[in-house]
Chain A
Amino acid sequence: MQDQNVSVHIQNVAHSFGVEGHAKHVRALLDTTMDIHRGELLALIGPSGCGKSTLLNVIGGILSPTTGTASVNGKPVNGPMPHDIAYVFQENALFPWNTIIENIRLGMLFQGVPKSDHEGRARAALKAVGLSEFADHYPGQLSGGMRQRAALARALSLDTPVVLMDEPFGALDEQTRMVLGEDLSELLSRTGKTIIFVTHSLGEAVFLADRIAVFTARPGRIKEVIHVEEPHPRKASFMTSDKFNGLRNRLFDLLHDEIRKTVNLGSGSTGGF
């Protein structure tokens, strides 16, 4: 019954934290249904606490939704699916006690890749992100941007059809993000993977995504889906085009009201300001 072209299917997923009726009960995500196509880059953007990371973690099998189901390549998600989904987390989730290449090899060991393949695939992934020279460095010896590249290399080496990224560049400075974004567009257009990523950056969403799902303030639901019809790989010149700015402004308008709601809510509840 499912379309062959659908990579990730989200059916009526909703999630609440805490027990209903309890003071700490929070409805994080309202009923959400969506299809993500093979090879598509989908950006999730919205105010803080709108449930975009919640949705990502439901797809990744890290979180069981209160209601609804997610399926990846036709298989229902009941927990981590290491052969279908690789994660790139916001802060670097590399093990600080291992070198970069050891980190990548460990990922493959966890996933169950035969040992004989580890070295070759790890080197290839490092080369793809331009970190070949830093294979034997520890994460603590690299800059934040390099660490995120390494985390991306680890995800790529797992050779999964789907990659989930939770604000992968969130902790980096604007300039580094721009360069990494360009590289990512180039890299991902070659691999043909399905990518879902959470971001706070309007520019990043427009620059990288094929579609952008804009969330409302909490309790979050998808307010609108914007299509960015621009082939990959995208060049830096796209960032200065009218099309880019038009889409970015549209995104800003959509988000502005929602963010205003969260901010007002926040200051209302603290009351002191």
Chain B
Amino acid sequence: MSGPVKSAPIADEHERRVTRLVQIGFVAALGALWYLATNVWGMSPILLPKPQGAFNELLDILRSGEFWPDLFLTLAELAGAFAISMTLGLGIGFLVSLSPVYVRIFEPLLAGVYAVPIILFLPLYVLFFGLGASSKIALGATISFYPIVLNTIAGFTSIDKLYVTSAKSMGASPTVLLRYVLIPGALPIILSGLRMGFTVALLSIIGSETIASLAGLGHRIVNLAESLEIARMFAYIVFVIAIAATLNGIVSRLEASRGMDK
């Protein structure tokens, strides 16, 4: 009989280092291109500010702390939207997964709506909920609901029937089955749905802030563009990218850690 399968940690480590180097190189090349375009090739600072200028603006933003109200508002909108879409997505997804008939009826409907660019309805959301945070929360919740509900359905319905049969043959009651078989079996797919939902919620909230809003990070960026403070606008864009990357990193890390210990 063959022994347990062993991975090759040394090869993995090497590969990971190469991958990371290529990624860092790519970002460095972009930075270099930005520097050359503005400092050597003479690109207009209205279109593209010098990186050193944007960097100084970024330092000023961080030092002054003026970003706090906008950052806080955007994050609060994100938290509100995600709390709504997660609750509804998990709950409705679970209920639909209970019967193959419900799945046949609702899964194609939900998948169909998911393909619609819901951002088109932003004017309606603004009409209903106003220019403030409510419309951002409602839109973000709507858009992020679909990946969560679809993955929840997929997670619960893709569990191997044999696990269920085997648990029932050993006497598992419905609640025990849910806790020890259905939830752990569905978890990896549900978590990736939550991660996708989180990402699209962030995108749609910042996006809608740039279109119609009174405050928030997206609103700030558009304001700076309109007053032609391009270097500061770029500084804010970099700031938002850093925030988004951090949040995504945290969520991906959470997803991976739940996936790994299983």
Interface string of A137-154 (1 = CB under 8 A from B): 100111101100000000
With A83-B171, A93-B165, A143-B2 in contact, do A110 and B176 touch (Cβ < 8 Å)?
yes
Q: Are B4 and A95 interface neighbours, CB within 8 A?
A: no
With A82-B171, A85-B169, A93-B162 in contact, do A134 and B4 touch (Cβ < 8 Å)?
yes
Q: Are B180 and A109 interface neighbours, CB within 8 A?
A: yes
Chain A residues lying within 8 Å of B162, measured Cβ to Cβ, are 89, 91, 93
Nearest-neighbour CB distance to chain B for A128, whole angstroms, equals: 16
Residue A197 at the chain B interface, CB threshold 8 Å: no
Residue A259 at the chain B interface, CB threshold 8 Å: no
Chain A residues lying within 8 Å of B168, measured Cβ to Cβ, are 62, 80
The answer for the CA separation of A148 and B255 in the assembled complex, in Å, is: 30
Chain A residues lying within 8 Å of B2, measured Cβ to Cβ, are 143
Nearest-neighbour CB distance to chain A for B202, whole angstroms, equals: 29
The answer for the CA separation of A176 and B2 in the assembled complex, in Å, is: 10
Residue B131 at the chain A interface, CB threshold 8 Å: no
Chain A residues lying within 8 Å of B224, measured Cβ to Cβ, are none
With A89-B162, A93-B163, A97-B184 in contact, do A62 and B169 touch (Cβ < 8 Å)?
yes
Nearest-neighbour CB distance to chain B for A173, whole angstroms, equals: 10
Residue A107 at the chain B interface, CB threshold 8 Å: yes
Secondary structure at the B interface, as helix, strand, loop or mixed, is helix
Residue A112 at the chain B interface, CB threshold 8 Å: yes
The answer for the CA separation of A80 and B170 in the assembled complex, in Å, is: 7
Query: A residues engaging B (CB < 8 A)?
Result: 60-62, 80, 82-83, 85-87, 89, 91, 93, 95-98, 106-107, 109-112, 134, 137, 140-143, 145-146, 158, 176, 179
Nearest-neighbour CB distance to chain B for A218, whole angstroms, equals: 23
Q: Are A111 and B171 interface neighbours, CB within 8 A?
A: yes
Residue B185 at the chain A interface, CB threshold 8 Å: yes
Name the residue of chain B whose CB is nearest to the CB of A92. B162
Q: Are A95 and B184 interface neighbours, CB within 8 A?
A: yes
Interface string of B181-213 (1 = CB under 8 A from A): 100110100000000000000000000000000
Closest 7 CB pairs of A and B: A82-B171, A93-B166, A97-B262, A110-B170, A110-B172, A141-B4, A143-B2
